[in-house]
Amino acid sequence: MERTLSTYEAKCRACGSTFAHPSLGDLTYGEMLFCSQNGRSYVAANGLSSFAQRVRHVLGDSQSKDFWRILAALTIQADGVPYTIEIRCPVCCAAELEYWDGDELGMVAVPDATFPDELLINEQALSTKISALSQAA
């Protein structure tokens, strides 16, 4: 599935480029946008989905601060590029922004985040992947 979201102007501190990025707005709960590390694609993740709740359970309370970062890393990649929780510049890929959520620029369709089938059905594979991602932090 996908949803149509408003886009807003952002400016990269590293290269000075301005670009549009989608936003869920202020009235969302339990959702986050993930941006590809090259800044060229976005997906919307539901932190209340059954898969997200399984991830939260495996992480436990001690690692709950890493939940969104790990969920982004588990998302099926766009053209082989991993997702992150940061807005990235689509020109230079930097995450250092001078500003974001500037002027509204238009609308864009953003797909929902998807996850590999292996992780959806195999608890051991999910635990192993989360453990590896937690240690990499």
Q: What is the pTM of this model?
A: 0.90
Tokens 């974001």 locate to 100
Q: State pLDDT tens for residues 30-67.
A: 999 999 999 999 999 999 999 999 999 988 876 778 99
| Predicted local distance difference test score (pLDDT) of residue 14 | 96
| Predicted local distance difference test score (pLDDT) of residue 137 | 62
- Relative to beta strand 83-84, strand 42-46 is unpaired
Q: What is the CA radius of gyration of the chain?
A: 15
Cβ–Cβ < 8 Å for 60, 101? no
Domain count along the chain:
1
Q: State pLDDT tens for residues 75-129.
A: 999 888 999 999 999 999 999 999 888 899 999 999 999 998 877 778 888 889 8
Q: State pLDDT tens for residues 5-17.
A: 999 999 999 999 9
* Domain membership of residue 65 as a residue range: 2-136
